[in-house]
């Protein structure tokens, strides 16, 4: 496994911060986490810049940079955080991000001499607004959960649910980067060509089978040149960190258009990411063996390696919840639809990145990879309504007397993720939330 995932002093579960909320049980953002985001004060019109979450506060890295508190590689990484997006920081590579994270960790620890100077640089998270963490040049969405692929395949091909290439190739499609938005974004129900059962001529209309997808996002760090590939052994050195990702999907549009080239209008209308990017380094205590049945053949050689087998997976609990318009009006809290775990993925982040570049494809700092819907082995662990409702045949009961097969206007879907392991601090990802608005009328311009 690469050096970026080695345990170090920043993972010490005994660490405490002079920021009291960072020491609270159950916080997503203890001092052992320190995720990065692009932030500014809400409603200020200020330029965006880098920030680090610490408990209920955000350390303003743009303001910290003006103090010139660091030297060497950490200073170079901090300077990159003064930009409106995190691409430059991501592109400096894992060593730079690690140096910056270690230096920030030291300054936020209880008893640190930096407390007096840094306290004024904290902004409450409740007073912050975000943008997408990086300027995303390209977005690729994988299909890395074998449980999701099998469940969906069973709905469409009961006798042959899993296509023969699935266990050998990290399947993916190229999505649209321009419609990736940060958590809190509300989007309009998409319109497209539909061909419902029993209809012989397609027609244009709003999707009635709108769905969410519970995914993990992977932000690329150090780039590779066009015509070069990244080996599996080096792949994680090209990953900056992970976030939550919802690749919203219009299943009825998808069913008509996806053959033979795959998704288009069914998925290019909106993708939601969480604002906070958790570095691979912060996730080091939660590495897990790649889980595959013992009778499965090993992957093709370029996708196989001892370190990937031993610790290529990451133990991240993932949850999807729904809040309908009626629930909000009644004060009913969001209802959890399902939980799954990223460790059950058939392909690891390293394998996805290595496969993406094996043909010489160049990835740039800030490019985004989605893992595809992360479903677990049990039906209740499905990461989409398509699976949970058996393609609409089995409605889900919600608090307040409502039910859902697919999403309705006004529905808000909230993704959450966290890592927990005995002997280590809990690490969270925050939220990726989005709300469905009514479709644009056909004659709107």
What length is written for the chain? 445
Spatial separation of the C-alpha atoms in residues 381 and 375, rounded to whole Å: 6
| 294 Cβ neighbours under 8 A, 6+ residues apart | none
Give the torsion sign (CA, 296, 299, 300, 301): negative
H helices within 36-145, ranges in order?
61-66, 72-80, 87-91, 94-108, 115-118
Collapsing DSSP to helix, strand or coil, 307 comes out as helix
Which position among 11, 148, 238, 356 bears the catalytic label? 148
What is the full DSSP assignment across 247-305? --EEHHHHHHH-TTT--STTTSS-EEE-S-BEETTTTGGGEE-----TTSPPPPGGG--
Burial class (CB in 10 A: 0-12, 13-18, 19+), 66: exposed
Q: How many CB atoms lie within 10 A of CB 364?
A: 17
Spatial separation of the C-alpha atoms in residues 272 and 172, rounded to whole Å: 18
β-partners of residue 245 are: 215, 273
Task: Tell me if residue 65 is catalytic.
Answer: no
Give the torsion sign (CA, 276, 223, 181, 259): negative
Question: Which two three-digit tokens encode residue 293?
Answer: 């049945």
Q: How many CB atoms lie within 10 A of CB 218?
A: 26
Q: CA 9 → CA 36, 103, 109, 294, 305, distances in Å?
A: 19, 11, 12, 36, 27
Collapsing DSSP to helix, strand or coil, 193 comes out as strand
**Containing H/E element for 7?**
none
Q: How many CB atoms lie within 10 A of CB 409?
A: 15
Instruction: Return the active site residues.
Output: 148
């Amino acid at each position: 496994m690469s050096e970026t995932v080695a345990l170090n002093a920043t993972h010490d579960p005994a660490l405490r911060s002079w920021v009291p909320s960072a020491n609270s049980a159950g916080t997503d953002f203890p001092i052992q986490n320190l995720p990065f985001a692009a932030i500014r004060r809400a409603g200020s019109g200020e330029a965006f810049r880098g920030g680090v979450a610490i408990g209920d506060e955000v350390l303003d890295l743009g303001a910290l940079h003006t103090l010139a508190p660091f030297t060497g590689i950490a200073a170079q990484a901090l300077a990159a955080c003064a930009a409106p997006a995190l691409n430059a920081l991501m592109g400096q590579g894992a060593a730079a991000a690690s140096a910056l994270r270690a230096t920030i960790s030291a300054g936020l620890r209880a008893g640190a001499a930096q407390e007096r100077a840094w306290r004024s640089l904290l902004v409450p998270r409740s007073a912050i607004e975000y943008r997408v963490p990086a300027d995303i040049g390209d977005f690729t969405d994988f299909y890395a959960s074998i449980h999701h692929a099998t469940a969906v395949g069973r709905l469409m091909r009961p006798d042959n649910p899993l296509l023969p290439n699935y266990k050998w190739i990290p399947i993916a499609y190229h999505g649209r980067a321009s419609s990736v938005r940060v958590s809190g974004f509300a989007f309009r129900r998409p319109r497209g060509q539909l061909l419902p059962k029993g209809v012989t001529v397609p027609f244009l209309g709003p999707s009635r089978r709108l769905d969410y997808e519970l995914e993990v996002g992977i932000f690329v760090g150090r780039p590779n040149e066009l015509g070069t590939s990244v080996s599996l052994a080096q792949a994680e050195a090209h990953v900056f960190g992970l976030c939550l990702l919802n690749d919203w999907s219009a299943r009825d549009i998808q069913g008509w258009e996806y053959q033979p080239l795959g998704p288009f209008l069914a998925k290019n209308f909106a993708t939601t990411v969480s604002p906070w990017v958790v570095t691979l380094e912060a996730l080091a205590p939660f590495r897990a063996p790649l889980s595959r049945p013992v009778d499965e053949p090993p992957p093709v050689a370029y996708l196989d390696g001892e370190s990937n087998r031993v610790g290529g997976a990451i133990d991240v609990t993932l949850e999807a919840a729904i809040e309908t318009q009626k629930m909000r009006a009644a004060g009913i809290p969001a209802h959890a639809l399902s939980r799954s775990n990223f460790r059950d993925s058939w392909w690891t982040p390293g394998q996805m990145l290595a496969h993406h570049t094996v043909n010489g494809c160049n990835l740039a700092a800030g490019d985004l990879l989605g893992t595809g819907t992360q479903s677990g082995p049990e039906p209740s662990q499905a990461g989409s309504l398509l699976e949970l409702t058996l393609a609409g045949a089995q409605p889900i009961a919600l608090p307040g007397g409502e039910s859902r097969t697919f999403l309705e206007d006004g529905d808000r879907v909230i993704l959450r993720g966290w890592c927990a392991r005995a002997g280590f601090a809990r690490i969270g990802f925050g939220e990726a939330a989005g709300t469905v608005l009514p479709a644009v009328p056909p004659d709107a311009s």
